[in-house]
């Protein structure tokens, strides 16, 4: 009988230790900062480079807490007309915690793998434009991934 009590006390001690360990996990903002870093690493490798990036403030609405920015730039679709054929690009954004991440996502054509193209260099560019909106009290930072060069970030506060 004593061994059962000792075992149950040991179990309760272990349970109390686990509850304490889980309750001392870092705050949500710290966890979101880690996921922002992970997202930035992933997006900097997979998204297109946005050249000549401009972020211009615009009317966010009648509520003074809201903001809006027009993000403009130029993206290379391919190094020649053949490679650029069937590709399109758009500005996307994702919000992680109190950070908005803006990136250029390229959609490739389905027949691209079967296409034979020459090795000439005559790059084809397209202009992209998007509007980012939000509440100043909810967003701390806006980060543009691959701004002007690969793996370069441009960040600003709304």
DSSP for the chain reads -HHHHHHHHHHHHHHHHHHHHHHTSPPHHHHHHHHHHHHHHHHHHHSBPEEEEEEEEE---SSTTEEEEEEEEEEEEESSHHHHTT-EEEEEEEEETTEEEEEEEEE--TTGGG---------EEEEEEEEEEEETTT--EEEEETBSSTT-EEEE--
Using a pLDDT cut of 90, give the percent of the chain over it: 43
Residue 40 has a pLDDT of: 86
Residue 21 has a pLDDT of: 33
The whole-chain average pLDDT of the chain stands at: 79
pLDDT range class, residue 13, cuts 50, 70, 90? very low
Residue 42 has a pLDDT of: 87
Query: Does residue 27 register a pLDDT over 50?
Result: no
Residue 17 has a pLDDT of: 34
pLDDT range class, residue 92, cuts 50, 70, 90? very high
The pLDDT tens digits for 108-129 are 888 888 888 888 999 999 999 9
Q: Which residue has the higher pLDDT, 101 or 15?
A: 101
* Out of 23-32, 54-63, 79-88, 138-147, least confident range: 23-32
Sign, Cα dihedral of 96, 97, 100, 101: negative
Query: Does residue 10 register a pLDDT over 50?
Result: no
Closest CA to 70 of 152, 127, 149, 150: 127
The pLDDT tens digits for 30-85 are 345 558 888 888 888 888 899 999 999 998 888 888 999 999 999 999 999 999 99
* Out of 4-13, 31-40, 142-151, least confident range: 4-13
Separation between Cα atoms, residue 131 and residue 142, nearest integer Å: 12
């Amino acid at each position: 009988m004593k061994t059962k009590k000792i075992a149950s006390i040991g179990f309760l001690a272990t349970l109390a230790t686990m509850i304490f360990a889980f309750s001392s996990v870092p705050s949500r903002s710290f966890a979101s900062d880690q996921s922002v870093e992970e997202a930035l690493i992933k997006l900097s490798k997979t998204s297109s480079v946005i050249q000549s990036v401009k972020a211009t403030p615009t009317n966010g609405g009648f509520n003074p807490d809201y903001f809006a920015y027009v993000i403009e730039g130029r993206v290379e679709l391919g190094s020649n007309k053949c490679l650029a054929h069937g590709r399109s690009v758009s500005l996307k954004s994702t919000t992680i915690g109190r950070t908005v991440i803006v990136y250029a996502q390229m959609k490739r054509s389905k027949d691209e793998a079967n296409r034979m193209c020459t090795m000439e260099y005559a790059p084809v560019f397209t202009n992209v434009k998007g509007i980012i909106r939000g509440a100043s009290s909810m967003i701390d930072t806006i980060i543009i991934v691959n701004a002007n060069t690969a793996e370069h970030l441009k960040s600003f506060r709304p």
